[in-house]
């Protein structure tokens, strides 16, 4: 989860009253996705533009799980949606060699050429976007770590209370629909409404995916409709940790993914054994992609050398800049201009909070149609006060960094970058086999889940449900 173990080590917060001023005085703190530094070996294959399918040239060492085609629905059994996230997994990572069970699932259902994440394309904001249908600028989880002017430093205790837009678990509970979650950002307890998932587990990074699947299947076995969830969300490590250490597409990243394929197979087999495909939709997504970097930039050191009283929080393609609380208004304005000038010299863009990322429209990158990317994604806005005073945006190939931290793979870059795109696979009820899908937006996932469940969409969700079923097969 852009490894929360590291976040705990970097941010040993002890009080809700931890102020922005106290944070500034602690010195430089960076957020990344791993707990240990590793070799800087990067295989920067930035993505693919076709749906996930098996390759004739691939020689799989494992047989894809055998799936029976879901039979036509003949009953009014309510739909159950299971959504799994494979953290930091790129479309190009999904092959018959690495994830044969996911390939089989895609071939029995459908897949998209990519899933456009939030900006920043980091674990916490992206996962919250997937379950709220809005961007970080709206839901308030603006990075893996940030400062709130009233509450101080963000921490992992009581994450739901930091989310400013009602997530799926709370919304569904208000509609009388039971949900469950085994590790998903923001699912550990009720939201501000007092509602949340009926069943949830506290985060533990060492929990094996197979253990999660066993629990998920147990939830499906519950007989009491007041206890049996109709939405289940679960986070899997994906390629994230290993790719941060040794680079995207590295041997260790591939092995990390391969080790999780068995859990996906276990889940598919469990659904099949229970004859639940006619009433179940299984969705597999990822929160962001990953890319290597040729240039590492310690921008905090740049600011210190220039005498600018500011600190940087972030890594990879995105970071927040917090100016010292000791600066008066005139000095703050001067410092902000100085940060922008230094960023420009270093090849970064520094956006004063309240502004819009420049040159965003029409820069989707090779292999991606800019017209496929919604304005909200192509022109991310940074107006929420939690972003700090400025945000730093690095071009792909350059990583905001700190000596001693991993050098293999990075994310956080604007969602327009194909290297940041995640995966989307769906099969089961409401999904037509072979349905052609375009590049999808992460803001469309929550509306899609609600449409599959037959639950009204709240007005704040600006995304649209993804049509997974051909018109002639809709029930």
pLDDT tens per residue across span 214-249: 999 999 999 998 999 999 999 999 999 999 999 999
The model's confidence at residue 157, banded by pLDDT at 50, 70 and 90, is confident
Residue 15 has pLDDT above 50, yes or no: no
Residue 365 has pLDDT above 60, yes or no: no
Instruction: Give residue 451's Cα distance to chain centre.
Output: 21
- Which is more confidently placed, 12 or 2? 2
Average pLDDT of the residues in 183-212:
95
- Which is more confidently placed, 112 or 20? 112
The DSSP code for 273 is: H
Q: Six-digit token pair at 329?
A: 């208004």
Residue 309 has pLDDT above 60, yes or no: yes
Percent of residues in the chain assigned helix, strand, coil, to nearest 5: 30, 15, 55
- Which is more confidently placed, 72 or 122? 122
DSSP 278-289: GGEEEEEE-S--
Residue 210 has pLDDT above 50, yes or no: yes
The model's confidence at residue 373, banded by pLDDT at 50, 70 and 90, is very low
Residue 71 has pLDDT above 80, yes or no: no
Q: 355 preceded by cis ω (within 30°)?
A: no
The DSSP code for 290 is: -
Contacts of 327 (CB under 8 A, 6+ apart): 309, 335
Residue 23's pLDDT is what?
Answer: 46
Q: What is the mean pLDDT of the chain?
A: 84
Contacts of 277 (CB under 8 A, 6+ apart): 68, 70, 71, 271, 428, 429
* % residues pLDDT > 90 (the chain): 73
The span from the CA of 464 to the CA of 163, in Å, is 21
Residue 338's pLDDT is what?
Answer: 97
How large is the C-alpha radius of gyration of the chain?
A: 21
The CATH code of the domain at 80-291+418-473 is 3.40.720.10
Residue 343's pLDDT is what?
Answer: 97
Q: The tokens 């930039």 sit on which residue?
A: 297
pLDDT digits (tens, 9 = 90+) for 242-295: 999 999 999 999 999 999 999 999 999 999 999 999 999 999 999 999 999 999
Residue 339 has pLDDT above 80, yes or no: yes
Residue 158's pLDDT is what?
Answer: 87
Q: Which of 192-196, 210-214, 303-307, 353-357 has the lowest mean pLDDT?
A: 353-357
Residue 368's pLDDT is what?
Answer: 32
């Amino acid at each position: 989860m852009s490894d929360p173990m590291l976040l705990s080590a970097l941010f040993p917060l002890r009080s809700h009253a931890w102020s922005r001023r106290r944070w500034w005085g602690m010195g430089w703190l960076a957020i990344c996705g791993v707990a240990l530094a590793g070799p800087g070996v990067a295989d920067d294959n930035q993505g693919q533009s076709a749906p996930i399918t098996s390759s004739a040239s691939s020689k799989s060492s494992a047989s894809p799980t055998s799936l029976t085609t879901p039979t036509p629905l003949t009953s009014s059994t309510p739909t159950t949606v299971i959504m799994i996230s494979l953290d930091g997994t790129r479309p190009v990572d999904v092959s018959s060699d690495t994830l044969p069970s996911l390939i089989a699932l895609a071939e029995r259902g459908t897949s998209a050429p990519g899933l456009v994440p939030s900006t920043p394309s980091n674990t916490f904001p992206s996962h919250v976007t997937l379950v709220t249908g809005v961007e970080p600028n709206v839901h308030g989880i603006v990075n893996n770590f940030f400062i709130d002017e009233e509450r101080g430093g963000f921490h992992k205790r009581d994450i739901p209370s930091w989310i400013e837009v009602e997530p799926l678990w709370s919304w569904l509970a208000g509609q009388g629909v039971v949900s469950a979650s085994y590790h998903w950002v923001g699912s550990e307890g009720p939201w501000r409404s007092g509602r949340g998932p009926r069943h949830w587990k506290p985060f533990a990074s060492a929990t094996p995916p197979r253990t999660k699947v066993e629990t998920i299947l147990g939830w499906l076995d519950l007989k009491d409709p007041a206890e049996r969830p109709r939405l289940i969300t679960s986070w899997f490590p994906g390629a994230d940790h290993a790719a941060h250490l040794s680079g995207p597409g590295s041997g260790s990243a591939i092995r990390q993914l391969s080790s999780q394929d068995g859990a996906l197979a276990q889940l598919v087999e469990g659904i099949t054994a229970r004859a639940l495909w006619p009433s179940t939709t299984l969705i597999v997504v990822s929160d962001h992609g990953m890319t290597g970097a040729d240039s590492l930039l310690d921008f905090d050191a740049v600011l210190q050398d220039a005498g600018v009283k500011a600190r940087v929080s972030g890594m990879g393609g995105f970071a927040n800049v917090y100016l010292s609380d000791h600066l008066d208004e005139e000095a703050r304005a001067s410092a902000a201009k100085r940060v922008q000038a230094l960023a420009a010299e270093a090849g970064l863009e520094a956006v004063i909070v309240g502004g819009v990322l420049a040159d965003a429209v029409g820069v989707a990158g090779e292999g991606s149609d800019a017209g496929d990317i919604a304005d909200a994604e192509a022109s991310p806005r940074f107006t929420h006060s939690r972003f700090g005073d400025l945000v730093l945006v690095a071009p792909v190939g350059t990583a905001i960094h700190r000596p001693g931290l991993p050098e293999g793979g990075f994310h956080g870059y604007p969602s327009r970058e194909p290297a940041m795109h995640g995966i989307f696979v769906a099969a089961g009820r409401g999904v037509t086999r072979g349905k052609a899908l375009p590049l999808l937006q992460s803001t469309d996932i929550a509306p899609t889940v609600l449409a599959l469940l037959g639950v009204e969409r709240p007005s704040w969700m600006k995304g649209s449900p993804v049509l997974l079923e051909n018109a002639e097969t809709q029930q």
